[in-house]
Every structure is written in C-alpha cells, then in structure tokens.
A = this chain, B = another copy of it.
Amino acid sequence: MQPKRVLGVLGGMGPLATVAFMRQLVQSTPAQCDQEHVAVVVSSIPQVPDRTQAFRGEGVSPLPALQASAHRLTQAGAGLIVMPCNTAHLWFDDLQATLPCPMLHLVDAGLHAALTASPLAPEPLRLGLLATDATLASGLYVNRAALKAPGRVSWVMPTATEMLQWVMPGIEAVKCGQLLEARDQLGRAAHALQMRGAQRLMLGCTEIPLALDEATCGIPLIDPTVELACQAVAWARSNTP
C-alpha cells in the first residue's frame, strides 16, 4: 500500500503559489478515486529568505533554507523534487548539486510549453515575459532559452518603470492576498507587452497566474507551473523504479 514514487514539492515561495501548484497536480492526474492520485510530500516553509532581495545583494542567500527544506522532503521519502518558484531557480544548480534525488527545472517546462503551443515558424516566437526583478535581471529565462532553444524566441520585456509601477507591486499584492489589485497592476504590464508585439505571455513568476487570466489579458498565457505539474505527475505515475 506504500506508493512506489513520492513527489517532493519544495514550496512556500509563496504559500498561495504552492497551493495552486498542488491543485494543478490533482487536475493533471486522471483519477477516479483517491488512491489513483499521485503521492506528494510538500515542504511549504515560507521563511526562505526573499529571493529577489538576495539577488540584489540586499539580503542573505536563500540557499541554506532551500537545502533545509529539500532535506525535509528527502527525509519524508521524496524521489523527485520540484520547486514552484521561478526566482528560486537562480539557486537551482547549487541546490541540485547537494541533493540525493533529481529535480525538474521550471523554466525548461515553461519553454517547452511555449514552443509546443506554437507551430514551428520561420520567425522566432515573440514571447512577452512577466517575472520578478531578479528573474529578469539574472536572465534566467532568456539565457536558458538561448541554451535550450537557440533562435526560437524573441523576448519582449517590461521596462524598468513598468517593473517598479506594476509588476513588482502586482506580485507583492498577490503575496498578501489582494488579488483584485494585483490583477489591475499585472494586467497593465501585460497590455504594455502586447502593445509592443508579444504574441504570448510567459508568466515567469508563480504568483502571476493567481491574478491574471487569458480572458482579462486577451492574449495566450503560458504558465510554466502547469507544464511542470504535468511532467511531475508523469514521473509519479511511471512504473520505472
């Protein structure tokens, strides 16, 4: 009766995004009863130091807290770890290097979803990117795309003013539960990217899909956590030992 494979979710960044990811796991699983769902252990430890502040050099590194949280998961039996927080992926390689089990990369999942959804065209996909200051400034998405899908993406990003006025306040509004305010701010940023030619929007921060939807934006949205959930469920349901 013990599950063969237990998925580990390194969460709490933020807590609502973790809840949304767990819902996504359930919705991505074809199941007729409880027992057909996948086994998951979650470490939602919101005390991980702020990732954006650490990247800016204004706060301590989140790496030790990420390692401690991942350790809870491996102690609880996790055989694969996913981390539904984009900015935390700046420490992905350092974290993976210290773990006894593999991790799936959220940005790779997002790029896969964006490029699968778009037919191969001679022109690169004009992809808008909404993300935290640290995710943008670190080149997390743009560098990974250049490495994994060279020449297939042409990025459209927010200006510094748009980041300060709309994107970062919108993300912080989600983190304190003010979803209507967040929708207004993030919607303005989405509109600006669309006006500059974005054909799709990559939601490169797990808080953003909690406030934005396609009906509001009028442009296809790519939520990397949806693809990450599908990949994680496929792993958990596989019988390969």
Contact = CB atoms under 8 A, between A and B. Distances in A.
Contacts of A14: 34, 37
A62 to B, nearest CB: 9
A47 interface: yes
Interface residues of A, number: 49
A65 interface: yes
A1 B36 CA distance: 37
A14 B25 CA distance: 13
B46 A38 contact: yes
A41 interface: yes
Interface string A11-23: 0111110110011
- Choose among A15, A27, A39 the residue with the greatest number of B CB atoms under 10 Å from its CB: A15
A99 interface: no
A146 interface: no
Contacts of A6: 45
A116 interface: no
B39 A45 contact: yes
A14 to B, nearest CB: 4
Interface stretch (A72-80, A120-128, A135-143, A190-198): A72-80
Interface string A27-42: 1000111111111111
Given A45-B39, A176-B32, A60 B1 contact: yes
Interface of A: 1-3, 6, 12-16, 18-19, 22-23, 25-27, 31-50, 60, 64-65, 68, 72-73, 75-77, 172, 175-177
8 contacts: A1-B64, A2-B47, A13-B34, A16-B26, A37-B44, A40-B45, A41-B44, A75-B75
